[in-house]
Amino acid sequence: LPAAVLLKDTKLMDVKLGQLGTWLAMRDFTPGGILGAMRRGYNRYYNKYINVRKGGLGGISMVLAGYIVLSYMWSYSHV
């Protein structure tokens, strides 16, 4: 039972392939859970790349690159 508790708190990158199904079953896929995960991801991104003392172009360039890829996919949907 302690392994299940530890598995729930484990990050995705630390989950073994055999434990992936069990780990996914423990996730919260309700709209509130998905919104909370998106909020945590945004906060992690913002604090790592945008809200820094000595900023660079890393965070802004990733957002711009994502926008370019999405607009390419929308423009050339036949590809």
Q: Is 7 exposed, middle or buried (0-12, 13-18, 19+ CB in 10 A)?
A: middle
Q: Quick check: 36 and 21 in contact, CB under 8 A?
A: no
Global confidence as pTM: 0.55
Residue 1 has pLDDT above 60, yes or no: no
If you average pLDDT over residues 26-44, what whole number do you get? 91
Q: What digits encode the pLDDT tens for the residues 15-25?
A: 888 888 888 88
> Tell me, what amino acid is at 30?
T
- Domain hosting 61: range is 7-76
Is residue 19 included in any domain, yes or no? yes
Instruction: Please report whether residue 38 resides in a domain.
Output: yes
Query: 22 CB contacts (<8 Å, ≥6 apart)?
Result: 4, 7
Helices of type H across 14-57: 20-25, 31-45
What's the number of domains the chain is made of?
1
Mean pLDDT in residue range 39-64: 83
